Structure 1
């Protein structure tokens, strides 16, 4: 029957919402790329000299300068491109699956279901678990800036890897 016990409906809704946001962002970025390509191609067409002579070369350089200025205006006007890069780079690479009671992670505010976007200098990539472990060991006793996604919102936390009664330096389990 509905609702099913093996499906976490709020998580599914949040993931569907995030997927719709990413699809819209992808469409906007694609449109911006198409506009920029058209501007670049029009700049190439206007900058090719048709006649020989000094006047043509001057006109071509003026046209190229105008095209590059319009491209710069386009790029400056669409200042949200930095936000687009931030959106792309803020994809989580791991999810907190288990947190031990009285662990450093629990004391520093990490919660079950948090998605890790960045842990210190570690982002998504190869040999992820090894890099996470070495980052925690290298910063033992020192706060590590962590960016997490909790219920679709990005949050900045500071986790301090340290020895405690349980296993590891932080006391949480992730799955990638």
Structure 2
């Protein structure tokens, strides 16, 4: 799929919010209630939330723009991105890859990998030595994807959606000693 990864523009907050609300359910467990998904989206994935992220100097909102927005990543840097010690993340400083989602019709097309590469580049440019993220414990496709691209499982965190608290795996990707394609550079 042809698309270009770039920083989202401030006038795209509504489009990114639509993309976020459309793709978030893909990462949820199959038995997650629609009300919980909707409540989470309304509480975290709105136009005003993305407008705030776009204005935040410690955040990067990246989009893959092809025939419209087909994927996005949200990366936090600085103090707000610092993982809790129990997560097992060893990179310091580390940036937090909060979101990396792609529309279903773009799955397997390389869009997610391009977003990962761009997230790693923004983290490196801000002086981070790694990235970390958490993924839903039932999202096996995402876990395989991250592992394939050099991420390693380091611990667990709790993530609440609706009334359910999920014990989600935490993953880390080290920037030092690896190239930005997620392969060991041997240095």
- Normalised by the length of structure 2, the TM-score is 0.26
Higher strand share goes to which structure? 2
- The structure with the larger Rg is 1
Higher helix share goes to which structure? 1
- Normalised by the length of structure 1, the TM-score is 0.27
